[in-house]
Structure 1
Amino acid sequence: MSPFAEPAENSTPLGWVVLLLALAVSIGAVWLLSGLPILTAAYAGGLATLMALLVLLRGKARGSEVDALAPPDWSVTLAAIDQPGVLVAITDRANRLVCASAAFSSRFGVEKAPPNLALSEEDADEALLKTAREAWREGRAHASHLTLGRDDLRWEVEAQRAGRGEDHLVWRFRPESSEDLATDVGQLVAGPLGKMLDRAGVVAALVSPEGVVRAASPAFAECAAGDPTATLAGRDFADFLRLDERERIFFARAGREGEPYQLIHVSLNNPGEDWLAGPQDAPSLMLLIEAHAALADNHAGDATPKLEKLIEALPLGLAMTDRDGRFLFANPSFLRAIGRPDKGLPTFPSDLVVREDKSAISDAVRRFGKGGLASGDVAVRLASSPEEPVSVGLASMRGMGEPAVLLTLADSKEETELKRQMAQATKMQAIGQLAGGVAHDFNNVLTAIIGYCDLMLLRHMPGDSDYDDIQQIRANSNRAASLTRQLLAFSRQQTLRPEVLQLPDVVSEVSQLLKRLLGEKIEFRVRHDRDLGPVRADPGQLEQVIVNLAVNARDAMAAKGDGTGTLAMSTRKVTVKETRSHAIDMAPGEYTALLVRDTGGGIPPTVIGKIFDPFFTTKEQGKGTGLGLSTVYGIIRQSGGYIHAENVGPADGLGAGALFAIYLPVHHGAAAGAGRRGEAEEPARAWSSGGRVLLVEDEDMVRAVAERALVRAGFTVTAQPDGEDGLAEIANGGEFDLVVSDVVMPGMDGPAMARAIRKLKPDIPILFMSGYAEETLRNEISIDNMHFIAKPFSVEQISRKVGEVLSAANA
């Protein structure tokens, strides 16, 4: 054995004796061989040192091995993490629970470990899984605003990698602080809520856990510093108060001559349970009430008149129930918000909501009545307005005798009405676009049907067996064309001929017709205000609006019973102030209003939001197309005006019924229109010399009908199916007197082709065929010498229009 050999792990005392004898022999050999005492002593000392070092290192190595093999002792870790207010758990890489604090075990047990807590909230489960993945990857992760079941507390969760090999995750669950709530309360105390409390004789201050003022009401600032605008933030709350020998509270500035106050301390802590017991660090709301005006004790009944006036004056709806859920009181704002300003409170909050939400609000009130929760909210639908869900706030009340629950509800009827109007406007715009597209495609089909009917009638004489059948087809096609015009009116894409006019003149024009339509049983009244502003609109379309409204009113009064009633039409001037009070969606300005009121009993509330939808009707099948009011809506909106309907009660000697209000903006321009309308009314010049026409139309049926009609009229026609081929005809040297083109085509559309042609032939006239409105096309297409013919057209109409354009071009 080498003298430096390490003793075996199972060495015995005999082994150590043999080793020492070997060392002694080696020392003796050195003495005999060298004969030098100093050398022998140095050799012996070196061996002794090496042996001591070897023994020391061996002992440490054995101790390390023992420590590595021993199982970890979690008792110290458990004692360190068991802190009040925090839930701590330690998991390994297999997400197994290794160690947990008492609070964690009390809430979740020891069978489940994060992130797999199997919570009922899917969002919380997903957030915990995401936190775990991020912690293993980054070393630390954080999540907040989590609801971990059983109550409405919000939690923040932190996971951190730890251990020798960083093969464990330490999870910490903490209730979120009330800092956000404290910030909101501070703003209210320093603002409107503080002023209302001041009027009720209550001074308030928001105080941090350290006793420092964060915000104060004006009355508190005046009592504490003599200046209601003074900034007290950052100063100690206790410095402003003092106690006398009877432990009454006074403001230090006023001294004994001041009024004594009663202090009410409202903690803004999140609620706590046994497993969260411990110090809380949330701000507090300090309310100081004059002792002589303080609330009476629990045996004295209700609060003082000042507090009742304060609650009644609050714009926020407040109500209180007892722990069993019975209403105790409610302020006027709450009654307005639930739609019962005159009926009073029912017995239970569940009586206010629809059947499906009764259990939800009952359970919430019962839960908060137990006092375990501070505040929360529940979404329900009120029976008075089941279409719009509302959020009812709930808060547990303490310090006023028996436990109670405070309910809050904001009156958001104006906001809800605005949302409804915006949704209705968006829906009508979408339906209008759809209706315009349908009318455009339908007009192409009708153009072909009417055109082929015209061509067939040229080969048949009255009395032929097929003549009457062809006339019937043509008549029904024209009827369908009138439906497409109504669709275009609704979608605001019809051709209008606006004039500057007075609304009373339009009403007067149709008065005789209305009297015949209404019959003898319905009284027709007309009243006009003075100094009405002129409006700019199409008189023919306005007449259609008035007739449609009158017919609807007649049918409503006939459906009521005996068919008697009164239809009243009036015009009046609307000021800017009245504008804002009549309709939220109207732009400020001056309007001339046309009011049409009947005594038909009104419009059912369930359908009043749908009456302007196309094809919606309450009449029996076969008695209405459902396009009357939608046409009215489209004409008024295309004319720049507004229309809305409402039910009205008996007034001015008239019974209850419906009121349609039309608002047209006052026109401040010239009194007479000129330009295109004047040109359109100019007599057409005769044209009989023929001409070369380039016809471009992607619909085969329409192209065939138009080509045959123009050839029959004596024109030389070259027909092409798209814009590229039409442009190629001109580019390849084709000579034409007129281009007749559709507007909407695949690939190169009509306007793009026309602009390209104008670069080659600057003076050639363009005649567009389209099912859309002429005004819309003229606004979107800026081309000189452009003309328009609306679809559907007959053989005679297309021939005459081409002749008029060529005649004007050669004049």
Structure 2
Amino acid sequence: MASHAASETERLPAAVPMIVAAAVAVAAAAIVLTVIGSPVLAAGFGAAALVVIGAVWLFARLAPGSATDEPAIDWSVAHALASMSSDGLAVTDRAGRLVCANERFGTLFPGYPAPPNLVVGDWAAAQLGTAGRAAWRDGSASSGAFDAAGTKLTAHIQRVSDAMLVWRFVGHDVTDLAKQAQALVAGLSGDRLGMAGIMIALLGADGRVRAANRVLRVRAMGDERAMIEGRDFTRFLTTDNFGIVRFEREGTSGTPLRVLEIPFLDGENAPMLVALLDEELAMPHPAIGDSATAHVRSLISLLPAGIALVGGDGRFVHMNDAFVRASHVNPANPPLYPGDLVVREDKGALADAIRRFAAGAAHSMDMTVRFAEVPDEAVSVSIAAARGLGEAAVMLSLRDAGEEGRLKRQVAQATKMQAVGQLAGGVAHDFNNILTAVIGHCDLMLMRHAPGDSDYDDIQQILLNSNRAAALTRQLLAFSRQQTLRPQVLQLPDVISEVSNLLKRLLGETVELVVNHGRNLGPVRADPGQLEQVAVNLAVNARDAILAKNPNGGGTLTIETLNVPAHEVRAMDDDVLPVGDYTALRISDTGSGIPAEVLAHIWEPFFTTKEVGKGTGLGLSTVYGIIKQSGGYIFAESPKGRGAVFTIYLPVHTATEAPAKAVPVKAVQGDLWGSGTVLLVEDEAMVRAVAERALARQGYTVLTAENGEAALELLEKTGRPDLLISDVVMPSMDGPTMVRHVRKRYPDLPILFMSGYAEEQLRKSIDLDNVAFLPKPFSVQQLAEAARAVLAAK
């Protein structure tokens, strides 16, 4: 027994190379089967490999001096075969060791790790391990799709005898929808559609045919083998006086056609599918078979444009994925009728249009609807009859107007903001005239009443509330970008430092203020007082948002200044922000954020989410107006789960300051008594009366006129005055036009303009030197100081 056992032990090492050789042959055959896919060729190659390797081993055993040497296993053949595949291939043994792998596997998994021990994430590794065990048990298995090396892979595992596993990692290529549609139209799928009576062609952006099914070739050219590719599609069709379309070669006796255009891909150069259906007006169209219906649905499902089919009863028959996404359909609870998707106001019009086309309307139409899930966004829907497509009677197509719709909404928003701004500016101008009269009369009354008088406190209350109303008009003018600014060249950190103490008091002890300044900040030109107002308004809103999220406090308001050079702006690729150098101010908070439906309206005047009496709705609109009037840009963001972020871009000031044309109206200290003749031109009687009385009390002789023509006539009689005070905007002849006529006779006559509009806006249309400006509303003292300053400067 021992000797027999010993002999068996001696023979065992000699048999090991043959076992390994057999395993190599089987592995090579498996690789051939994986790469080429032919079982007969794989079996033949495995047998040949086994014979060759066996012969080599026998020769090595019989050769002198080789009795004790083990032959080396040559895997070069298997490597060469594996290299023929574009998939990643690997072979592992029972112990889980990597036996062989091709270069594609090494590219996908650097370092050649042994499957399933790949660096692909815990979930994918677990899937590979499960699939490997299943392959050992069942002979073959596949894993789920996973990401590796920047692509999506699926592993297919095949057991080779009981010794090895062959792993094949297949990548998922992106489908070229245009090429796939071209193959469908020109191939067997197009023939199936032709059997159902559907002629279909794929057209390029130039209108030339890329592919067509055989039935269309026969009808258009008379031969199913005719070369139609590259031909102008419109040359095959003709239209009579009634708008009926037919094939040109069939003439007026041919069968009328219904033409359905299906947008296929986005872009100007995108191809388009065109389907032609025979229009049998005298008899109902036969429905296509179930198999063809399913094929049409499959074809529609491939299209990126949102398309839905509606039956004769008005119910949905089919919706592709693009339609589901664009219409915000809940897949778990799909709607029965198209009207279920839109807002209440659009239900009737959409239902009537679908009913009309289901009854046989000849031409398609476009209409605009709003989906109930996004009522603020209008969507264009094309509606056309779809008879001959099985149960479908009407086809709905959503135009992919994402970028176009976004631009339209921006233009509409800008137009609305401009219109509201003009209205607000006009209201503020008229209101300023009223406030000028109220404040002026209060000042005149206070001159006759001393403190302690019974009427003194009442007059003070009227004056106080009038000044509050004046502040409100300044906000309206700020929104409409018509307020008076005093721009200076300044550094943003200096403005933030000035207002920081005020912000800390406004935020309270529970909200932390963090200020960070960037480096290499360029100077900006703006009104420092107005920039402080911007910071205060945004800080107050941030405080309210933080306290709304956490009533007990505990939040942070962060103010940052940043240098944004032109190359960074260019990298942003923003349609609104021009390329240039900017100094940015970013204000962010840790509050509750701004809902998406509110974010689109925050700049509108009088829009507020606060309770009645707790907000005017002018805070952010004022901020918007100040920044735009300063030549800057402001953007609001509210990332999900975080607070709001406001970013302000102010252009870096590089131009040399131009000498001012205006005469400064700095207050003159001391005695405001004056003398001389003043010509006062004002179309508002109440303002004219107050100004006349105020100037007369200061010692001036006052001449008044209600418009520019009357002023010129008065000057013809009285001669040159010492000072001309005029409103800017007046009927018939405005102030600047009148002053040009006056300056022809009196070139050095001092001029003081007064207006409720912004000085900066008016100076764009006033090309006059040495004129001063007094904004409305003004007090009696401010008018006296301005008149005294202008006369003193001449």
Tell me if both proteins adopt one fold, taking TM over 0.5 as the criterion.
yes
Deviations 1:596-638 (A, max 9, x none): 3334434455544443333333333332233222211221221
Alpha-carbon distance in structure 1 between the residues aligned to 2:341 and 2:366: 16
Deviation at 1:347, TM superposition (A): 6.2
Q: Counterpart of 2:639? A: 648
Deviations 1:171-219 (A, max 9, x none): xxxxxxxxxxxxxxxxxxxxx99766347684799x9xxx9x9978999
Conserved? CA contact 1:337–1:412, under 8 Å = no
Alpha-carbon distance in structure 2 between the residues aligned to 1:524 and 1:344: 48
Change over 3 Å in CA distance of 1:582–1:345 after alignment to 2 = farther
Task: Choose the corresponding residue for 2:511, options 500, 522, 528.
Answer: 522
Task: Choose the corresponding residue for 1:637, options 628, 631, 635.
Answer: 628
Unaligned ranges ≥5, structure 1 = 1-191, 225-232, 243-250, 254-264, 288-296
Q: Counterpart of 2:607? A: 616
Deviation at 1:467, TM superposition (A): 2.1
Q: Counterpart of 1:567? A: 557
Change over 3 Å in CA distance of 1:238–1:618 after alignment to 2 = same
Alpha-carbon distance in structure 2 between the residues aligned to 1:487 and 1:217: 50
Alpha-carbon distance in structure 2 between the residues aligned to 1:234 and 1:679: 87
Task: Choose the corresponding residue for 1:197, options 159, 163, 181.
Answer: 181
Conserved? CA contact 2:587–2:645, under 8 Å = yes
Q: Counterpart of 1:550? A: 539
Q: Counterpart of 1:26? A: none
Deviations 1:759-784 (A, max 9, x none): 11111111112212111222211122
Deviation at 1:362, TM superposition (A): 6.8
Q: Counterpart of 2:440? A: 451
Q: Counterpart of 1:241? A: 225
Conserved? CA contact 1:693–1:716, under 8 Å = yes
- Alignment partner of 2:644: what SS? strand
Q: Counterpart of 1:294? A: none
Conserved? CA contact 1:617–1:625, under 8 Å = yes
Residue correspondence of structure 1 range 276-315 to structure 2 within 5 A: 279-280=254-255, 282=257, 314-315=303-304
Residue correspondence of structure 1 range 155-304 to structure 2 within 5 A: 197-198=181-182, 202=186, 237=221, 241=225, 279-280=254-255, 282=257
- Alignment partner of 1:780: what SS? coil
Q: Counterpart of 1:409? A: 398
Q: Which amino acid aligns with 1:518?
A: L
Q: Counterpart of 1:435? A: 424
Change over 3 Å in CA distance of 1:452–1:368 after alignment to 2 = closer
Deviation at 1:725, TM superposition (A): 3.5
Alpha-carbon distance in structure 2 between the residues aligned to 1:428 and 1:378: 26
Deviations 1:551-599 (A, max 9, x none): 1222233344515333333444275785796864444545444333334
Q: Which amino acid aligns with 1:471?
A: Q
Alpha-carbon distance in structure 2 between the residues aligned to 1:699 and 1:363: 56
Q: Counterpart of 1:734? A: 719
Unaligned ranges ≥5, structure 2 = 1-175, 230-235, 247-251, 260-272, 276-288
Deviations 1:423-444 (A, max 9, x none): 2222222222222222222222
Q: Counterpart of 1:13? A: none
Deviations 1:738-760 (A, max 9, x none): 11222233333322221221111
Alpha-carbon distance in structure 1 between the residues aligned to 2:383 and 2:429: 55
Alpha-carbon distance in structure 1 between the residues aligned to 2:361 and 2:320: 26
Alpha-carbon distance in structure 1 between the residues aligned to 2:371 and 2:662: 55
Q: Counterpart of 2:410? A: 421
Change over 3 Å in CA distance of 1:771–1:579 after alignment to 2 = farther
Deviations 1:239-298 (A, max 9, x none): 6828xxxxxxxx899xxxxxxxxxxx99999799xxxx97415599999xxxxxxxxx96
Bigger Cα displacement from structure 2, 766-775 vs 748-757: 748-757
Deviation at 1:715, TM superposition (A): 2.7
Change over 3 Å in CA distance of 1:401–1:514 after alignment to 2 = same
Deviation at 1:374, TM superposition (A): 9.3
1:628 aligned onto 2:614: no
1:658 aligned onto 2:649: no
Conserved? CA contact 2:674–2:698, under 8 Å = no
1:720 aligned onto 2:709: no
1:338 aligned onto 2:341: no
Q: Which amino acid aligns with 1:386?
A: P
Deviations 1:445-475 (A, max 9, x none): 2222222222222233222222222222222
Deviation at 1:787, TM superposition (A): 1.0
Alpha-carbon distance in structure 1 between the residues aligned to 2:709 and 2:208: 81
Change over 3 Å in CA distance of 1:448–1:621 after alignment to 2 = same
Alpha-carbon distance in structure 2 between the residues aligned to 1:590 and 1:484: 33
Conserved? CA contact 1:686–1:807, under 8 Å = no
1:695 aligned onto 2:680: yes
Residue correspondence of structure 1 range 733-752 to structure 2 within 5 A: 733-752=718-737
Change over 3 Å in CA distance of 1:403–1:695 after alignment to 2 = closer
Deviation at 1:681, TM superposition (A): 6.9
Change over 3 Å in CA distance of 1:336–1:554 after alignment to 2 = same
Alpha-carbon distance in structure 1 between the residues aligned to 2:389 and 2:784: 90
Q: Counterpart of 2:585? A: 594
Q: Counterpart of 1:768? A: 753
Q: Counterpart of 1:135? A: none
> Greater Rg, structure 1 or structure 2?
1
Change over 3 Å in CA distance of 1:406–1:574 after alignment to 2 = farther
Q: Counterpart of 1:80? A: none
Residue correspondence of structure 1 range 314-329 to structure 2 within 5 A: 314-319=303-308
Conserved? CA contact 1:685–1:808, under 8 Å = no
Change over 3 Å in CA distance of 1:524–1:783 after alignment to 2 = same
Q: Which amino acid aligns with 1:802?
A: A
Q: Counterpart of 2:695? A: 710
Change over 3 Å in CA distance of 1:324–1:777 after alignment to 2 = closer
- Alignment partner of 2:470: what SS? helix
Deviation at 1:808, TM superposition (A): 0.9
- Alignment partner of 1:241: what SS? coil
Q: Which amino acid aligns with 1:409?
A: L
- Alignment partner of 1:596: what SS? strand
Q: Counterpart of 2:490? A: 501
- Alignment partner of 2:721: what SS? coil
Alpha-carbon distance in structure 2 between the residues aligned to 1:399 and 1:443: 69
Alpha-carbon distance in structure 2 between the residues aligned to 1:527 and 1:786: 43
* Paired-residue identity, %: 54
Alpha-carbon distance in structure 2 between the residues aligned to 1:474 and 1:434: 26
Q: Counterpart of 1:479? A: 468
Q: Counterpart of 2:653? A: 667
Alpha-carbon distance in structure 1 between the residues aligned to 2:329 and 2:609: 30
Alpha-carbon distance in structure 1 between the residues aligned to 2:750 and 2:228: 94
Task: Choose the corresponding residue for 2:458, options 469, 474, 477.
Answer: 469
Deviation at 1:709, TM superposition (A): 2.5
Deviation at 1:361, TM superposition (A): 5.8
Alpha-carbon distance in structure 2 between the residues aligned to 1:214 and 1:476: 72
Deviation at 1:805, TM superposition (A): 1.0
- Alignment partner of 1:569: what SS? strand
Q: Which amino acid aligns with 2:700?
A: F
Deviations 1:339-374 (A, max 9, x none): 359989656645433356557767877887899989
Alpha-carbon distance in structure 2 between the residues aligned to 1:447 and 1:241: 88
Q: Which amino acid aligns with 2:680?
A: L
Conserved? CA contact 1:318–1:330, under 8 Å = yes
Q: Counterpart of 1:777? A: 762
Conserved? CA contact 1:335–1:344, under 8 Å = no
- Alignment partner of 2:711: what SS? helix
Q: Which amino acid aligns with 2:502?
A: L
Q: Which amino acid aligns with 2:398?
A: L
Deviation at 1:517, TM superposition (A): 0.8
Deviations 1:57-86 (A, max 9, x none): xxxxxxxxxxxxxxxxxxxxxxxxxxxxxx
Residue correspondence of structure 1 range 379-398 to structure 2 within 5 A: 380-393=369-382
